[in-house]
Every structure is written in C-alpha cells, then in structure tokens.
Structure 1
Amino acid sequence: MATPDLLKDTIRPTLLRMTVPMMVGIVSLMLFNLADIYFVSLLGTAPMAALAFTFPVTFSVVSLAIGFGIGTSAILAKLIGQGQQEKAAELATDNLMMTLLLVLCISLVVQLFMVPLFTLMGAAEQQLPYILEYMDIWWLGAVFLVTNMVANSALRARGDTKTPALVMAGSSVLNMILDPLLIFGWGPVPAFGIRGAAMASVISWTCVFVIVIYILYRRYNLIILMKPVARRIFDHWLTVMKIGLPAALSNMMTPLAGGMLTAMVAQHGAEAVAAFGVGNRLESLSLLVCLALSMTLPPFVSQNFGAGQIKRVVSAYKGAIKFALIWQFLVFMMLWVFKDAIADLFAASDLIKGPLIMWLGIVPLGFGMQAVIFLSASTLNALHQPLIAMRISILRLFVFFIPMAWIANELWGLQAMFMAFVLANSAASWVAYRSVSKVLAVKSAVHQ
C-alpha cells in the first residue's frame, strides 16, 4: 500500500486510510493493558488495587513518550513535506538517541522515590509490596517503551500508519501469551505473580524496539550512521523539544491529576480503587477511535500548514470534531447498555462491581467532549502552538477537573465525583474548540 499524499489526496478518505491501521494498533495496545489487569485480577483484590495505583505513574512515562513523539512528528512531517529527507534522517537519529539516554536517567532516579510516592497517593501498607514488585521490573523496560513510541511517531510523520499498527499488534499478542505464563507459571517456568505481568511487558517492548529500529534504518533511512556532533545533536533536540516538552508536560498533567483522583477514590476503599483502575483502562479502549484520529491528524495538519494550505487544515479539524462527538455518544450508549456484563468480566468481587457499574453509567457520557479536547490539543501542537495546548491542559485539570471532583466527592460522594468528570470535560472542550478556531482564523488571514 502506497503512502498517502497528505498535501493532495482528498481529506476524508486520507484520514480514514491513515486512521484505520492506527485503530488496529491502539486496540492492540489497549488489549495489552487489559490483559495485564485481567490476569492480575485473578490474583485477588490486593494485587488488582496495586496495579490501579501504578497507573498514574506508568501513564506519566507514556505521556512523556507521547510528548516527545508529538514534537518528533511535527518537525519531521514538515521536513519530509519540504523534501529534506537527509535533514529529517539526521534529526530522527539524534532525537531517538537523546530520548533513550534521557529516559534511562529518569528511570534510574525515579526508582529511589517509589515508596514515598505511592504512600502519598494513598496506597495502604499491605499494597506497597505488590506495587514495588511490579514497578521494580517495569522500570527496566521503560526506556524501550518510550523509544518505541517516538520511533512510531517518526513512521507516522511519513504517513505510514500501517507499520506501527502491525508492530503494536505483534507486541500485544506476545504480551498476552507471556502474561499467564509468567504470572501463574507453567511447567519449568515458575509463577512470578504480579512481577510476571511487568516481565511480560518488558520482554514485549524489547522485541518491538529491535524491530522498529530496523525498519527505520532499512526501509525509510530515517536512522543513519554518522559522527556524533554535540552542536548538531543539541540543535536537533532543542528543535524537537520546543514542541515536545510543552506537549510532554501537558500529557504528564493527566497522570498527575489521575494520582490526585486515585487518592480521592481511595477514601472509599480498595474495591473502589480497583474499579477506578479498570475504568481508566476501559476509558482508553472506549476512546480508541478518536485516539487513533488524534495520532493521524497531526502529520496531516503539519504538512498542510507548512505548505500554506490552511483551508485543508480547517476542514480536517472541524470534520474530526463532528465525528468525535457523534461516535463517542454511540460508545456511551453501548457501555451503558452492557455495563452489568462488563462489570462481571473485570470485577474480581461483588464489592468492585458496584462502583464499576456506577462509573460505566456516568463517566463515558463525557468522552465526546474529552475527544474534542485531545483532538484540539493535537491540532495546536501540529500548528506549532504547544503553549496554547498546555494552557488548555492546565485549565482542564486544575481549574475544572480536580476542584470540581474534590467538591463533589466531599459533599456528595463517589457518584457525584463521577458526574463532575463529565461537567469538567464539557467546560474544557468549549475552551479548546474556541482556542483552535482563533488560531486557525489568524493563520487563514496570514495566508490570504
């Protein structure tokens, strides 16, 4: 299948052609996470709650990777659109090397603060051993997780979404095979418990790392062997980080807020935390179509922005927003109808089912507005306006989300807190849409 021409091909079919493979890839990634929580749930409530506590921390690393990937995609897409293949290869090579070294350093430092961090988040003393068993292994593979996501962003910058999708699917299949084998043991393989889930992830990420780097090197020549020059590496890193760092900070605010929300939910017991952890993973699965669209929209926006074709950018953005609102409402209806069956599948006990059913009946109503927010943020980053995207994230989480959730939880309890999630997303989505509209109006006036 030929790579689509993002500057000339019809907008809707082009985005559809790019988004469908990414949907497959993201489904694989979400199944990766759901497999972890499903098999760990079979170990009991305590390990399941421990895994829920790890989510804000692990998602922080994922958010860092997403930010770096956004910067990589925005810069590479523009260079590739301009026909500067050699410069794009130099930048991609230097960026991947710096990403690997940075995450390695972060992994070594953060491991020193695991106990106080999870204690601050509200983890009980009996949950800490499970948390530490999981995270001690998980940090070993974090460098491969982040580098893989940045490398996949480089592939998407070329308009290739099929290869990342296939790679993510392979990773998910390998993880689903290794999870039960390493968690429960079989034959000569001992049962590692919750550590086995982390081991399965690390092995899968390592295999993917080797494959993706090979593809970038052999197929696309985006990794090249060259003499390391400090000034060149720094300039490339600075270019990417002008977009990537604000985007990373924006994404890292989400797990930070998630940690605060987890601490609020912990007031209602370990069962509520376990249900909330399941909900967080179901949220990602429910948003997968729009998440895929948010990953294919930026290369389209960046290339057309660089070419001065702002009308194509406006059409693509508004079409994506309309689709997101309609699609996510249909997803909400499906989750509401099947909430009892879903709770039976993922809840380890009846005490977990209650809060999980409550979550399924309320929180997904706000997913459409949440999709508007991250589609708007991805568009702003692609337009090289990462600071505006970061301000929207701050406003959403720390002006709307956290205050509204805290007030609702303190005054009326867990159900009201879930309702506050929907209201917060609604308010933030309006601000996000208006912000993108203003930026596009300015860009249109400049190019007229």
Structure 2
Amino acid sequence: MSTSSSANDLLRGDLTVTLKKMTVPVIIGMITMMTFNLVDTFFIGLLGTQPLAAVSFTFPVTFAVISLSIGLSIGTSAVIAKIIGQGDQQQARTYATAALYLSAILVAAIALAFYLFSQPIFFAMGATASSYELLMQYMTVWLWGCVLLILPMICNAIFRANGETKLPSYGMAGAGLMNAILDPILIFGLGPIPALGIQGAALASVISWSCACLVIFYVLGVRQQRIYFWPHDMAATVAASRQILTIGLPAAGANMLTPVAMAVMTAIAASYGEPVVAALGVGSRIESIASIVVLALSMTLPPVISQNFGARQIQRAHQAYRIAAKFVIGWQLLVAVVLAVVAVWLAQVFSDDPQVQQVLRWYVVIMPLGYGLQGIVILANSSFNALHKPNNALMLSVVRFFVCYLPLAYIGGMLIGVNGLFIGSVVGNVVTAVIAWRWINGTFSHFEQQSAAIVEAKP
C-alpha cells in the first residue's frame, strides 16, 4: 500500500510550513468553486424570474443534504487522521471504505425521503402548484444524483486526513469548471443537444460530480490504495460507522445552526426596513469572501490535530491551534483595514440605493473588526471535532449564535439602532472568542496531562 510523505509532515514537519502547504490549495479551490457557483446561478437567472425563484425553494433541502455531508466528512477526517497518527494504515483503509459506504447509504435514504415527501415539504415552504412543477424538474435530477456529490466530499476528507489537499481542491475546482461549461449547453441547447431548461442545470451538476467520482476513486483506490472497493471486515465497518456518526451528526447539527442564525438575524434586520435587509444580504456575501482563509484553515487544521492526537503528541497539536489562531487574528485585522478603506467603493458597487449604501458602508467598517475573533471560535470548533469532542463543538456553536451573537446584536440594535446591530455582533464575537479560547486551551491542557500520566505510568 502506498503512503504519502505528507502524513509525516503532519507529525514531524514544521507546523507553520505544513499548515501553509495544506491551506493554500484549499483557498484556491474554494475561490474557484465560489466563482463557478455564481456562474451556475447566472445561467439559471437567464431563464427568467420564475425558474430562479423555483431553484431558491430548493436551497433548504439541498443545504440539509450538504450539511449532513459536511458533518460526515468532518467525522471521517477526524477518525481516520487519528488512526493514521497511531500508525495503523491498514485500519485507516478499512475505515475510509466504511465512511464511503455509510455516507452513500445515509444520503440515498434522505434523498429518497425528500423525493417521496417533496410535495408537502415545498408547499409548506410556500411554493405554488406551478413553481412546484418547475422546481421538481430540477430536484428530481438533483436528488437522484446527490450521492455523487457526497462521495467526492468524503473522498476529500480522506485525502485531508492523510495531509493531502492539492488533489482534492483542484479536483473539485475542475468539477466546478466542467459544471460551468455544461450549464449553458444543457440549459439552452447546442446542436443536437436539446434545451433542457432548469433540468439541464441539475444534469450538468450530476455529470460533473460523476466525472469527479471516477477520477477520485481511481486515485484513492488504484494509485494510492487508500480504500477497498468492498468492505471486507464487517465488524470494523460497523465500528467505523459508529465513530464517524458520533462526530459527524453533531458536526452536521452545528453546521445547520448557521443558516438558522442568519434567518433570525435577517428577521431582526427586517424590523429596520428593506434597505437594512438588502445591506445585510450583501454584507454576508462579502463576509464569506473576507473569511475564506479562516474557512480554509478550519478544514486543514483538524487533520494536523487529529494525527498528532493519535500519536499522543498533544503539545504539538496544541501548538498547531495556537499558530493558526494567531495568524487568523493578524490576517483578519489586515482584512478589516482593507475593507474599511474600500467601504465607500464597495457600497456603490453593490447598490444604487443611497439608504442601502449608507448601511452597507457601516457594515463593512464595523463587522470585520470581529472576523478575527470569529476565526478563533471557528478554529476552536473544528479543533474540538479533531479531538473527538463533537458535543463541545456543538455546544460552542449554540453559545456563539444563541447566547452571544444574536442576543447582543438585538440589544445593540435596541440601544443604538442599525449600527448597534453590527456593534452588538462584534461584541458577541469578542465574548464567544474568550469562551472558546479558554475552553479549547483547557481541553488541550487536560489531554496533555493525561498523556504525561500515561508516559509516567509506563515501566
């Protein structure tokens, strides 16, 4: 069985260099995927308002499936990276295979349930008979093909657990490029290919996912031999499934809290009028781009921590978190300065409405002050999962959104007005960051003491 030297980097290489080598490809892949997702939305928008609105109805359902997939990928990465840190490559291969089959079965079952109960689900969301008929042209193809979306995500988690990020990042970017190329062809037709409309957008996604699956399975199964093509040890497969679900389900739940919190924040903003809601919508998109380094680190830091956790190198795992956290504080401070400088220009680019521009300017000046502290929380959350403490990660997410962020934003709005929403949000990030910093460092210290006790107990 072939092994990657990158695994050794995670256990013995310079941590700063290792994190940089792993994170840069992920950033490139994320930027590329974001760009192609915008292209996908653009082509659907050319079909008209009704098709675009129909696809908008599908977002909660597709997000639920993707949230489960993200949770399973987090569980997969944490479990396999720890096993690799313990030096058992054979068991890692068995667990990687189990992760793929478990994820495929779960996602297929959920997709079938959504398909069977699609009518009551979408009508409850406010879809009309005509929009339901249109959106199901998209969802029927998407649901039957979504297993092909989850499998590359789980494969990417297996790569990351081994310290490899270039191939999965560039592979998903390639799938996004193929999707962008196929979109206009299948939506509007070309030569003998008929115009499939909204259904063509879903079919383009399924085809690109299928190609990604073929390439990734070939690399993982044939070239690197990190997976089996069939679970050969059922007892180990069941044990692996339990461990992955133990981490994956709370991680999926924590991931689902983000849109819930955003929905509540939007409802609070709506009480101040449509210009505030519009500014909040634009601001959240700017935030997703401004925080891309944090999001990338939240994907590359956990394998480093999990491998060293498995190898009982707790101090090294702790050091990795501290390096990432300190970098994020400095980086996001720089981002905040840049955004403050270009705030007026950004407001003019995204809106012609003077009211929206005014609110957006203050959003871009105030909110980024908390992005670095928000990064501390996000990295602590991913580190808890890496240390196999998923309930801590879930609880931290609950505290972040529903104890600190939303209540303090609401109080700030009541006291100061619209800008108070933003100031309260930043204060919420400050409070949560203090909690997260003390909690995660205390957890690392606890494991360090345990490891030291084990060493002392050995004859």
**Where on the TM-score scale, by shorter chain, does this alignment land: which range?**
0.7 to 0.9
Following superposition, the deviation at residue 206 of structure 1 comes to 2.2
Please tell me the residue identity of whatever aligns with 1:371: G
Match of 2:371 among 346, 356, 367: 367
Distance 2:51 2:243 in 1: 42
Q: Equivalent residues in 2 for 1:385-424 (5 A)?
A: 385-405=389-409, 416-424=420-428
Match of 2:172 among 161, 168, 173: 168
Following superposition, the deviation at residue 120 of structure 1 comes to 6.3
Q: Deviations over 1:412-435 (max 9, x none)?
A: 876654554433333222211111
**SS at the partner of 1:65?**
helix
1:303 has 2:307 as partner: yes
Following superposition, the deviation at residue 161 of structure 1 comes to 1.0
Kept in 2: contact 1:74–1:299 (CA 8 A): yes
Q: Normalising by the residue count of structure 1, what TM-score does the alignment of the two structures yield? A: 0.85
1:101 has 2:93 as partner: no
1:211 has 2:184 as partner: no
**Deviation larger for 127-136 or 321-330:** 127-136
Following superposition, the deviation at residue 209 of structure 1 comes to 1.7
Bigger Rg, which one: 2
For 1:63, the equivalent position in structure 2 comes to: 67
Q: Deviations over 1:354-409 (max 9, x none)?
A: 57666545444432222211111111111111111111011112223344456667
| Unpaired segments ≥5 residues, structure 1 | none
Please tell me the residue identity of whatever aligns with 1:315: Q
**Deviation larger for 55-64 or 181-190:** 181-190
For 1:378, the equivalent position in structure 2 comes to: 382
**SS at the partner of 1:221?**
coil
Kept in 2: contact 1:67–1:246 (CA 8 A): yes
Q: Aligned pairs, how many?
A: 447
Q: CA RMSD in A?
A: 3.6
Match of 1:8 among 9, 12, 32: 12
Higher RCO, Cα 8 Å, sep 6+? 1
Please tell me the residue identity of whatever aligns with 1:152: N
Distance 2:288 2:446 in 1: 33
Q: Equivalent residues in 2 for 1:142-291 (5 A)?
A: 142-187=146-191, 189=193, 194-226=198-230, 230-262=234-266, 279-291=283-295
Please tell me the residue identity of whatever aligns with 1:392: L
Match of 1:72 among 65, 73, 76: 76
**Deviation larger for 375-384 or 187-196:** 187-196
| Cα separation, partners in 2 of 1:226 and 1:257, compared to 1, 3 Å | same
1:436 has 2:440 as partner: yes
Following superposition, the deviation at residue 167 of structure 1 comes to 0.4
Please tell me the residue identity of whatever aligns with 1:435: W
Distance 1:402 1:123 in 2: 29
| Cα separation, partners in 2 of 1:125 and 1:342, compared to 1, 3 Å | farther
Please tell me the residue identity of whatever aligns with 2:172: M
Distance 2:198 2:347 in 1: 22
Please tell me the residue identity of whatever aligns with 2:82: K
Following superposition, the deviation at residue 103 of structure 1 comes to 0.4
1:90 has 2:94 as partner: yes
Kept in 2: contact 1:49–1:274 (CA 8 A): no
Distance 2:16 2:434 in 1: 24
Following superposition, the deviation at residue 232 of structure 1 comes to 3.5
Match of 1:315 among 294, 300, 319: 319
1:328 has 2:332 as partner: yes
Kept in 1: contact 2:76–2:96 (CA 8 A): yes
